[in-house]
Amino acid sequence: MLLSSIFAKSVRDRWTGELVAGIAMAVLLWMTMAIYADFDVSFYYDLPEAAQQLAGIDPAVGGLAGLAYGSIYNLLGALTLAGIAISIGASGVAGEERDGTISLLLGNPRSRSRLLGAKTTAMVVLSVFGLVLLWIGGLASPAVLDQDVSGVNLVALLVHLGANAVLWGLLATAIGAWTGNRTAASGAAAGLMVGSYLAASIVPLFPDVADWAAVSPWYWFSGANPAANGIDAGYLALQLGTAALLAAVAFVGVNRRDLRERRGRTTLVDRLRSHPMTQRYADRVAGSARVSSLVAKASSDHQALLVVVGGIVAMLGLYYGPMYNLIPEAFADAMNQFPDALMSMIGQADISTGAGWLQAELFSLVVPIGFITVLVSVGAKSLAGEEADRTMGLLLANPVSRSRVLFAKAAVLVLYAVALVVIASIGALAGALLGGLDVSLPNVVVTMSLGGLLGLVMGAVAFLVGAATGRVRWATSTATGVALLAYFAWSFLPLSQDLAGWADWSPFDWYLGSDPLLTGVDWTDVGLFVVTITILVVLAVPMFARRDLRG
C-alpha cells in the first residue's frame, strides 16, 4: 500500500507535462501535414544530408510522411519525451533529498530499493502514457487530412522512441541516485542526450569515423530507422539493455551512500546573512526566511523541464538560422502562395526573408509550444500541486499568510518565463548570426520576450484555476484549452470580415500581430500582456483566500 501510494503520487505529480507535450506534438503533426499536404516537399530531400539528419527528416520513408513524422516525432517528439523522462528521473531520489522528505518516506517500513522502484516504475508508465498520446495523434492527423502514410511504421517508431526516453530517464535517475543532486542529474543527462543526438546525426556523414556513430545511444533510436524498417531487435536490445544496466547502477548508488537532508545545507544567501557586513542587504534581497525558502523550493521544482525545453528551443533556433541559406528561392516563393488558411497559421510570414523564415519556423510554433508547456506546468502545480502533495497545510502552519504564499509562487512563474527567454534567445541570436540573416538582433530578443509573456498568460490561467479549484488536472486542461482556442482564433478569425476584429483579443495577436521581428516592441501589446497577467493573479487572491483547502 505504501509503495503504491508513492507510485500513484509520482504519476499524479508528473502526468501534466506528458499531457501537454502529447497534445502539442499532435497539433504540430497535424499542422505540418496540413501546410504541406498539397505541396511538393521533394526540396527537403535535396537538402544536404547533414541538414536532413539534424531535422530528423526520414528519406527512407520519403514524401509528406517522411517530412512530418520525421521532423515532429523523430526529432521534436523524441527530444521532448526524453526530456520529460530526464526531469522525472532526476526528481526521483535526488528530488526527495532536496525537499527534505526522503527521511519521512524511508521512516516507514519501506526499503530504499522499493522506493526507487516505485519512482522508476512511475517514470516508465508516464513515458508509455506519452507514447499513447503520440500514437493517437499519429493516427488521427492523416485520417482527418485524408493523407496516405502507409509507408510509416508508427508502432515501431514509437517503440524505439519510448525505449530512448526511458534510457535517458534512467541515466538521470542513476546520476541522482549516486549524487543526490537533482540539478546535476538533470543537467548532465540533458547535456549527454543533446551530445548523443548531435553525434548520431553528424558522425555518420564522415566515412572515416561513421562506424563510431553506433556508440551513441541516440543512434540506436535514429540509426535503426524504425519508421521505415520496423523494429530492429538488435538496437532495441541495446536500448533496453542499457536502460536495465542504468537501473541497476541507480539501485547500487542509492543503497550505498548516506542520503542527504536538505535542512543541513546552506545557501549563498544564508552565508551572506551570517556576515555582519552583508546581513542587512541580504535580508532585503531575500525577504523573510520563510518566504525566501518558499521561493527557492518552488523555483527548483521544475528546473529539469526548464533546462530541457529551453535547450530544445535554443537548439532549434541555432539550427533554423543557417538552414535559411539552403532554401531555394523558388521554394520560398511557392510557400508564399499558400492559401490564406495555411499562411494564417504562421502569421502570414514572408518566407523569402530572414525575419519571415524565423517567424514561420521558430516563433509561430516552436516558441509558443515550448514556453506554454513549461509555464502551464509550473502555474498548474504552483498552488494546486501543494494541495495534491498534502504540503499546503505545512506551509500555512507557519506565520505566512495565504496571499504571501500565492505571490511567492507567482514570482516563481515570472522567474521561469525570464529564464526561458534568456536560454532561447541565446540559440536564436546565435542562429541568426551564423546564418547571416537580415534581421534585427534586438528585435529577436523582443519577439522572444513577447513569447515569454504569451507563455505567462497561459501559465497565469493555470495558476488562477489551480488557486480556485486545487486541482492540477483542471488547471492544466483549462490553460491548454485556452491556448488552443486563442491560437485558432488568431489564425482563422481574420479570414472572415465579420469576425476579424475578434482576433485582436487573442494573446497570440499581441505576440506576433505587430510583426515584432520587423517593427520591434509594441508597447500596447506589452501593456495588454501585463494587465491580463496582473488581473489573473489578482483574481486568484480572493479565490485562494476564501476556499477550504484540500487536506
DSSP per-residue string spanning 112-143? HHHHHHHHHHHHHHHHHHHHHHHHHHHHHHHH
CA 395 – CA 386 distance, rounded (Å)? 9
The pLDDT value recorded for residue 68 is 83
Query: From CA 429, how far away is CA 354, in angstroms rounded?
Result: 12
Neighbours of 264 (CB within 10 A): 7
Distance CA 212, CA 199 (A): 9
pLDDT at 247: 92
Mean pLDDT over each residue of the chain, to the nearest integer: 79
- CB-side exposure of 184: number of CA atoms within 13 Å? 11
- CB proximity list for 125: less than 8 A, separation 6 or greater: 7, 11
pLDDT number for residue 446: 94
Q: What percent of the chain has pLDDT over 70?
A: 76
Q: Do 200 and 339 belong to one domain?
A: no
pLDDT at site 505: 86
Confirm whether 278 is domain-assigned: no
pLDDT tens track for 367-386? 998 899 889 988 988 887 77
CA-closest candidate to residue 319, choices 520, 47, 59:
47
Q: Is residue 279 included in any domain, yes or no?
A: no
Domain-located, residue 170: yes
The pLDDT of residue 40 is 67
Higher pLDDT, 131 or 471: 131
> What Å distances lie between residue 200 and 112, 193, 212, CA to CA?
36, 10, 9
Euclidean distance between the first and final Cα of the chain, in Å?
Answer: 19
pLDDT 10s digits, 130-174: 999 999 999 998 888 888 888 888 999 999 999 999 999 999 999
pLDDT tier for residue 19 given thresholds of 50, 70 and 90: confident
**What is the secondary structure of 480-505 as a DSSP string?**
HHHHHHHHHHHHHGGGSTTTGGGGGG
Tell whether 102 and 182 lie within a shared domain.
yes
Q: Is residue 249 domain-shared with residue 296, that is, in the same domain?
A: no
Residues 155 and 21 in one domain: yes
pLDDT at 494 over 80: no
The residue segments making up the domain with residue 218 are 1-258
Distances (CA, A) of 208 to 49, 205, 212, 213: 16, 9, 9, 11
Mark whether 47 and 89 lie in a shared domain: yes
pLDDT band at 348 (very low <50, low <70, confident <90, very high): low
Radius of gyration over alpha carbons of the chain, in Å? Answer: 23
**Residue 223: its pLDDT value, please?**
82
498 Cβ contact partners less than 8 Å away, ≥ 6 residues apart: none
Least confident of 10-19, 68-77, 130-139, 455-464: 10-19
Residues 222-229, mean pLDDT to the nearest whole number:
85
Q: Which residue has the higher pLDDT, 31 or 101?
A: 31
Burial of 160 (0-12, 13-18, 19+ CB in 10 A): buried
- For residues 457 and 502, membership in a common domain is answered with yes
Q: Are residues 111 and 225 in the same domain?
A: yes
In-domain check, residue 276: no
Residue pointed to by grid coordinates 507535450: 21
Domain count, the chain: 2
Q: Answer yes or no: do 388 and 521 share one domain.
A: yes
**384 and 473 in a common domain:** yes
| Mean pLDDT lowest among 15-24, 121-130, 445-454 | 15-24
Query: Is 218 within a domain?
Result: yes
Looking at the structure, tell me whether residues 251 and 370 fall in a common domain.
no
Residue 501's φ and ψ, nearest 5 degrees, are -65, -25
Whether residue 230 sits in one domain with residue 101: yes
Question: Would 277 be classed as within a structural domain?
Answer: no
Residue type, 101: T
Instruction: Assess if residue 476 is contained within a domain.
Output: yes
Lowest mean pLDDT among 44-48, 275-279, 420-424, 535-539: 275-279
Residue 419: pLDDT over 70: yes
DSSP 76: I
Are 425 and 479 in the same domain? yes
Is 539 within a domain? yes
